[in-house]
Amino acid sequence: MQQTLAEALDILKQQHLKITKQRRALLEYLLAHQDHYHEVTLVDDHMRQLFPGMSHNTIYRNLKEFEDAGMVEQRVQGGQGEVKYQCDFAHIHHHHFICENCGRVQELETCPMDSFQAQLPGCKIDTHRFEIYGLCAACNRKLAKQPS
């Protein structure tokens, strides 16, 4: 589901976070790329190009505040921090399929934890993260059309 800037600004207001031009620009960037994870360093570079005086700490603090507000998802991939705008506010707990070719992220509708819990009798699972990697339908079609 594609979110809008107005919805994002409403969340900032609900969280009692001031709407600054920097936060607005950060949200616009994340919203424009909400179907992909982006390296935090690239987000930082983009923001520092727009606002040369903006510190790294301010950018990272804003991303953390957005995460705490449930607006962004963060992960570490290959030792690199990555961030994307939350894809589904109705289902904060969800998982992803990530295309290894184009990087597109698709939300998975079900959680596989029930089957894992059954395999771990007596254990208490505190948290989990589940991602599936492969080729999205569009990339798979493109690859299938390429001559061998």
- Angstrom distance (rounded) from CA 49 to CA 43: 10
Whether the Cβ atoms of residue 26 and residue 71 lie closer than 8 Å to each other: no
Does residue 139 have a known ligand-binding role?
yes
Flag whether 87 is marked binding: no
Does the annotation flag 102 for ligand binding? yes
Question: Is 99 annotated among the ligand-binding residues?
Answer: yes
Structure tokens at 96: 């992803």
Q: Which is nearest to 11 in space by CA: 2, 22, 19?
A: 19
Which helix (H) or strand (E) segment is 56 a member of?
Answer: helix 56-68
Q: Which residues participate in the annotated binding site for Fe cation?
A: 93, 128
Q: Which residues participate in the annotated binding site?
A: 93, 99, 102, 128, 136, 139
Q: Which residues participate in the annotated binding site for Zn(2+)?
A: 99, 102, 136, 139
